[in-house]
Every structure is written in structure tokens, then in C-alpha cells.
């Protein structure tokens, strides 16, 4: 369908003569605009998550100007609207607590303003799902503009990766292997340009997912933030969104079962962050597509990890991935697993979008028969400890923990863990299973990234660098180790994790996809009868609303009143 100027959504604000539109037009003139600026032109919102405290989006003021240039070149009218920035490192207790707030803000910004199309500017972890979820629910033409990864870190000639090398060198410092001066050198060298984390963490995973869903210009997610191609891409986004408005190409035309499967497939091949599961389920459900933990597990068994990027890979980072051809090149290696008929924001099928892509470095983007991990990035486990499932990243954990039984050492909350973990008399060995509970969607609240529990100090000093860990929290996509996460239902709402006691034997069997506590049903019934719910962490404000409406991890942690029923069309957005 091709739109006429009278069909534009913004026409309601400016088109008809009358007192209401007089008010809008006179106030536009107040800002120095005249009808030539807006008449017959698509009005494009640039929803910008820039802030003074978000280093991942520090270049977004300049990039917004490039987007505006593109919009003006294509005959549109740009309108920049700020949204909550969600800087992962600074927002406490977790940026995840506010992902749904950004989604709601995005939806309401679009609904309440004279907007015909939208450019979504994000990249730092939760901004990608938050912006996409809101735009999908409003279903106006939308393009996602990813921030791009920062440049590789550098210290004493060694390449440093976001997150992963922070944990690694922190353990080396605790073990006395590096000095305080070395540690400060790591601090200076690990984040040396704007852009999001450049390991295959949540940011790189989620922007690749946006790309694979078809919501970015093809390959946009791989361009480093500081590369001049990123500026050029921003202008292209501005031009393309204007065309999409006239073509009436909306998220509902792009997001289908096939595109969601493509995104899961790409996530697996990238060695994705475990957070991908929660966010992609939430994104898909906004579009009325039912994505489940089983879908992730099914595809993880057939799609190998071929992106040799840390933390699943040993050496390379996202900058290397871009030079090797980026996401379109990776997708050329997955064509047997992808639905090439799915269209993207280009309006073309995926098969055409990647037709000219090539791999330039077979060690960074491996051939399918020489993967870095043969069985995919994530495994979903179920059992009496997690009836609704939990996840682990087998590609980032030691071989000895792929099938392991050990005694639980349970911490009831993060404060207790922090107070105890470095005690020299802690009763723990490398065979113990460290457990943190009450850190889930409700109990955290917001599932903080506490799931890579620190190795106890006395074991670190003895050379231990991995242990089996278990929690209802999430972990950073840049983390690694034998960490079982997202246990559902969570302990705070009475999931079986709440009943586990220190000393109970716990089995984690990744090949068998099983998690089990060796406690009889009778004993569990007695413990349940004696269990009382912990106090809610929030008594007022957004936190209270969040706790009342957030779904569990296996359902995507969206609010119950924002999801679209499976198979149903996205509800027509109400305009007042």
C-alpha cells in the first residue's frame, strides 16, 4: 500500500482547518517552522537514548544529526525525542528493572505525538529490547539504529574485552597474580571509545537480533561505533524511514514466526548472551509470535557457534567480526537454517539482503563444519528445581561441569553472599554448587546480573577459576563459567529454589537437559508448609507496579498487560 499525505498519521495534528490544528500550527511557528517544513511530509521521530551518563551512547547527539540529515534529504521532517537512557553500568539495582519502562515510554511517545515513522536509537543492553517492544506495540514504520560496538580494549599490548576481562583480572588481583597498578592499567584500557560492549555480550547479541529480525538496515549492528561507516549508516536510516512511511512498511509486516526463528538461529551461531532468551521472548510476544524456551533449546541443538568472538571464542571481538564481513557474512553460512523469504526494513527478502555478503576471515566467522562449539550457545534445563526451566551457556563453561553433582551452598540474598564469600572458614570446595536466590524478576527485583557468583576467595587463591553456580538471577552476556540462570519459578514467589537447603545434593546434567535436587517429595512438602515469602523489596512507585505485573523469566519478564496474545494481531493503537 502507498500512502498519500492525507493518510499520514500527522495529518490529524496539522491537516484539517480548525481550532485544534490552529493550536498545533501556531506552536510550530513559535519554533520558527512554517508549513513548508511539515506540509505533505512524513514526520519522523528520532527516539534518542543519549544521556550524559551513558558511555555506550555518547555519540548519539552527533548520530541524531546524521539521521536528521537523511530525513531532510528524503523530504521528511525530523523530530528528536529523548527517552530514558538505561546505562547498564550505572542504573541500579538493574537496568532490567526499567526495560519495560522504556518500552512503555517508547509506545507512549509515539502514540501521543504527531509521528508517522520512528528511528529508534539504542544499543546498551536493555535499550534494544525496550525500544523494539514499544515500537512493535504501536506498529508505525520503524527502524532500529544500533549504537555499534566500541573499539577493542588494550592494556600492555593485550586485547581486552568488556566485562569478560574485568572478571578475569579481578580474580587475578584477588589471587595476587597482578598488582594494584596493573589493575588500574586495565581500568584505563578496557573501554577506550564510545559504543556498547564489544564482546558478544547482551548488547552485541541484542543488536544482532534486531538485525536478524529485519529491524535494522542489513549489517548495521556490526559497524563499530567509531567507524565512519556508522555515520553513513545513520544518514541511510534517515532516508529509508521516510520511504517506509510512504510504503506503509510496519513492524507487523516484518516480525513473523520465520523472522523470530531467524533471530534465534543467529543468536545461537553468535554464541549469544543468555539474556537473549528473555528479551527475544518478550519482543516476539509483543508481535503475537509465541517464542518459548523449547524453541531456543531446539535450535541450539542444530545451530553451531561459528562466531569466534569472546566470551565463547578465545581471541576476537566485535571489531574483528566487522572486518570479517559482519552479520550478513555470518548469515551466508547459515542459509540452510534461515527463512530467506522474511523481509526486512529494506522491504526486500533476507535472501536478497545478504546476496552480496562474503566472509573475509574464516577464523573469525568459522565455516559451519569447523565451529568453535558444535552444539549451539544455550541449553535449557528442567527438573524439580526448575519446573519452568532455567538456562546455561555450555560454550562458556568448563568441560567438567557439563554433568556434575555436588552439595549446595545456599545464600538467601546478595548481601549475604557478599558478606560470606571471602571468609577463609567458608565450608566449600570446588565441587560445591554455589546458590543465590531471591534475585529473580520479582525478588531482585528486575533479575540483576548477579548470576556469575564470585568464586570463594579461598578457592581463587588455590587456583580455582570455575564452579557450578545456580540462581534465579541473570548474568551479563560478557560473563562466563558454569552458571545456571533464570531458574523459574523464582524463589521469591515460592519456586522450588526457595526450598533448597545447604548440603542438599544438586545435579546439573547439560547433555540430558536436567536439573535435580536430591530431596524427596515428602520432604519438599514439609519445607513448603514451613516457607514464608520474603518481604517485597519495593513498597511504592514503579518498583511496586513492576512487581505486581512482571512475568517470570521463561515468559520474557514483560508486563502482563502489554503482551499480545499468541497468533493475534497487534491491537490497533488507540489515538486520542
Nearest distance in Å: CB 86, ligand FES? 9
Q: Which helix H or strand E contains 382, and what residues bound it?
A: strand 379-383
Is residue 449 close enough to count as binding ligand FES by CB under 6 A?
no
DSSP per residue over 432-485, as a string? SEEEE-S-STTTTTS--S--SPPPPHHHHHTT----EEEESS---TT--SSEEB
Nearest distance in Å: CB 57, ligand FES? 8
Nearest distance in Å: CB 568, ligand FES? 33
User: Which CB, 185 or 201, lies closer to ligand FES?
Assistant: 201
> Which set of grid coordinates corresponds to residue 432?
560445591
> CA-to-CA distance for 390 and 379, rounded, in angstroms?
8
User: Which CB, 100 or 204, lies closer to ligand FES?
Assistant: 204
> CA-to-CA distance for 381 and 352, rounded, in angstroms?
37
User: Which CB, 137 or 162, lies closer to ligand FES?
Assistant: 162
DSSP 349: B
| Window 112 to 151, contacts with ligand FES (CB under 6 A) | 124-125
User: Which CB, 117 or 448, lies closer to ligand FES?
Assistant: 448
User: Which CB, 195 or 444, lies closer to ligand FES?
Assistant: 195
Q: Are strands 379-383 and 386-392 parallel, antiparallel or unpaired?
A: antiparallel
> CA-to-CA distance for 304 and 325, rounded, in angstroms?
18
Nearest distance in Å: CB 449, ligand FES? 10
Is residue 196 close enough to count as binding ligand FES by CB under 6 A?
yes
Number of residues that bind ligand FES (CB under 6 A): 10
Phi then psi for residue 63, to 5 deg, are: -65, -35
| Piece in contact with ligand FES (CB under 6 A), picked from 35-43, 197-205, 210-218, 243-251 | 197-205
User: Which CB, 54 or 551, lies closer to ligand FES?
Assistant: 54
Is residue 96 close enough to count as binding ligand FES by CB under 6 A?
no
Nearest distance in Å: CB 203, ligand FES? 3
User: Which CB, 66 or 199, lies closer to ligand FES?
Assistant: 199
| Window 455 to 474, contacts with ligand FES (CB under 6 A) | none
Nearest distance in Å: CB 73, ligand FES? 30
Q: Which helix H or strand E contains 14, and what residues bound it?
A: helix 11-14
Q: Which helix H or strand E contains 515, and what residues bound it?
A: strand 514-517
> CA-to-CA distance for 476 and 205, rounded, in angstroms?
11
Is residue 500 close enough to count as binding ligand FES by CB under 6 A?
no
Nearest distance in Å: CB 204, ligand FES? 8
User: Which CB, 275 or 507, lies closer to ligand FES?
Assistant: 275
How many Å from the N-terminal Cα to the C-terminal Cα in the chain? 25
| Piece in contact with ligand FES (CB under 6 A), picked from 136-144, 195-203, 289-297, 533-541 | 195-203
Question: Peptide bond before 331: cis, by omega within 30 degrees of 0?
Answer: no
Select the residue interacting with ligand FES from 46, 102, 197, 255 (CB under 6 A).
Answer: 197
Select the residue interacting with ligand FES from 10, 43, 88, 300 (CB under 6 A).
Answer: 88
Cα–Cα separations (whole angstroms), residue 475 to 6, 39, 510: 49, 49, 18
Is residue 203 close enough to count as binding ligand FES by CB under 6 A?
yes
Q: CA 401, 404, 408, 413 torsion: positive or negative? A: positive
DSSP, collapsed to helix, strand or coil, labels residue 215 as coil
Q: Give the residues lining the site for ligand FES (CB under 6 A).
A: 56, 88-89, 124-125, 162, 196-197, 201, 203
Amino acid at each position: 500500500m502507498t500512502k498519500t499525505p492525507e493518510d499520514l498519521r500527522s495529518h490529524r495534528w496539522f491537516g484539517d482547518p480548525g481550532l485544534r490544528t490552529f493550536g498545533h500550527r501556531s506552536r510550530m511557528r513559535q519554533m520558527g517552522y512554517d508549513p513548508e517544513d511539515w506540509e505533505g511530509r512524513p514526520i519522523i521521530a528520532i527516539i534518542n537514548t543519549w544521556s550524559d551518563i551513558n558511555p555506550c551512547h555518547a555519540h548519539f547527539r552527533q548520530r541524531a544529526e546524521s539521521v536528521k540529515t537523511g530525513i531532510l534529504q528524503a523530504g521528511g521532517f525530523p523530530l528528536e525525542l529523548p527517552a530514558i537512557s538505561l546505562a547498564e553500568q550505572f542504573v541500579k539495582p538493574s537496568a532490567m528493572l526499567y526495560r519495560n519502562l522504556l518500552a512503555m515510554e517508547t509506545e507512549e511517545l509515539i502514540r501521543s505525538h504527531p509521528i508517522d515513522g520512528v528511528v529508534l536509537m539504542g544499543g546498551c543492553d536493555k535499550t534494544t529490547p525496550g525500544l523494539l517492544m514499544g515500537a512493535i506495540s504501536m506498529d508505525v514504520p520503524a527502524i532500529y539504529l544500533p549504537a555499534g560496538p566500541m573499539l577493542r580494549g588494550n592494556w600492555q599490548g593485550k586485547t581486552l574485552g568488556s566485562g569478560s576481562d574485568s572478571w578475569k583480572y579481578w580474580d587475578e588481583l584477588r589471587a595476587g597474580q597482578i598488582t594494584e597498578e596493573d589493575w588500574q592499567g586495565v581500568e584505563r584500557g578496557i573501554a577506550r571509545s564510545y559504543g556498547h560492549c564489544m564482546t558478544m555480550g547482551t548488547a552485541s547479541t541484542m543488536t544482532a537480533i534486531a538485525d536478524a529480525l529485519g529491524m535494522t538496515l542489513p549489517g548495521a549492528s556490526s559497524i563499530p561505533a567509531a567507524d565512519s561507516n556508522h555515520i553513513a549508516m545513520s544518514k541511510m536510516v534517515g532516508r529509508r524511514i521516510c520511504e517506509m512511511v510512504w510504503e506503509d512498511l510496519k513492524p507487523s509486516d516484518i516480525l513473523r514466526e520465520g523472522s523470530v526463528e531467524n533471530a534465534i538461529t543467529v543468536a545461537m551461531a553468535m554464541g549469544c548472551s543468555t539474556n537473549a532468551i528473555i528479551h527475544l521472548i518478550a519482543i516476539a510476544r509483543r508481535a503475537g509470535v509465541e517464542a518459548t524456551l523449547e524453541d531456543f533449546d531446539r535450535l541450539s541443538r542444530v545451530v553451531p557457534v561459528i562466531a569466534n568472538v569472546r566470551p565463547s571464542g578465545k581471541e576476537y571481538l566485535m571489531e574483528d567480526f566487522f572486518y570479517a564481513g559482519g552479520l550478513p557474512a555470518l548469515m551466508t553460512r547459515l542459509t540452510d537454517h534461515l527463512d530467506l523469504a522474511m523481509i526486512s526494513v529494506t522491504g526486500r527478502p533476507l535472501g536478497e539482503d545478504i546476496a552480496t555478503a562474503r566472509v573475509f576471515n574464516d577464523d573469525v566467522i568459522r565455516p559451519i563444519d569447523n565451529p568453535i562449539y558444535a552444539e549451539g550457545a544455550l541449553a535449557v534445563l528442567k527438573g524439580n528445581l526448575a519446573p519452568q526451566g532455567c538456562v546455561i551457556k555450555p560454550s562458556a563453561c568448563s568441560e567438567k561441569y557439563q554433568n556434575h553433582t555436588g552439595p549446595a551452598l545456599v545464600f538467601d540474598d546478595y548481601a549475604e553472599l557478599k558478606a560470606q564469600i571471602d571468609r577463609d572458614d567458608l565450608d566449600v570446595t570446588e565441587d560445591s554448587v554455589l546458590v543465590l536466590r531471591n534475585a529473580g524478576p520479582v525478588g531482585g527485583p528486575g533479575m540483576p546480573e548477579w548470576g556469575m557468583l564470585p568464586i570463594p576467595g579461598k578457592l581463587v587463591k588455590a587456583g580455582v577459576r570455575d564452579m557450578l553456580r545456580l540462581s534465579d538471577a541473570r548474568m551479563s552476556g560478557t560473563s562466563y563459567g558454569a552458571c545456571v540462570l533464570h531458574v523459574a519459578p523464582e524463589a521469591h514467589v515460592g519456586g522450588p529454589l526457595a526450598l533448597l537447603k545447604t548440603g542438599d545434593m544438586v545435579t546439573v546434567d547439560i547433555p540430558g537437559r536436567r536439573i535435580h535436587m536430591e530431596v524427596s517429595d515428602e520432604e519438599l512438602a514439609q519445607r513448603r508448609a514451613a516457607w514464608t515469602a520474603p518481604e517485597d523489596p519495593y513498597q511504592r512507585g514503579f518498583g511496586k507496579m513492576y512487581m505486581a505485573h512482571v512475568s517470570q523469566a521463561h515468559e520474557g519478564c514483560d508486563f502482563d498487560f502489554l503482551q499480545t496474545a499468541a497468533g493475534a494481531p497487534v491491537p490497533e493503537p488507540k489515538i486520542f
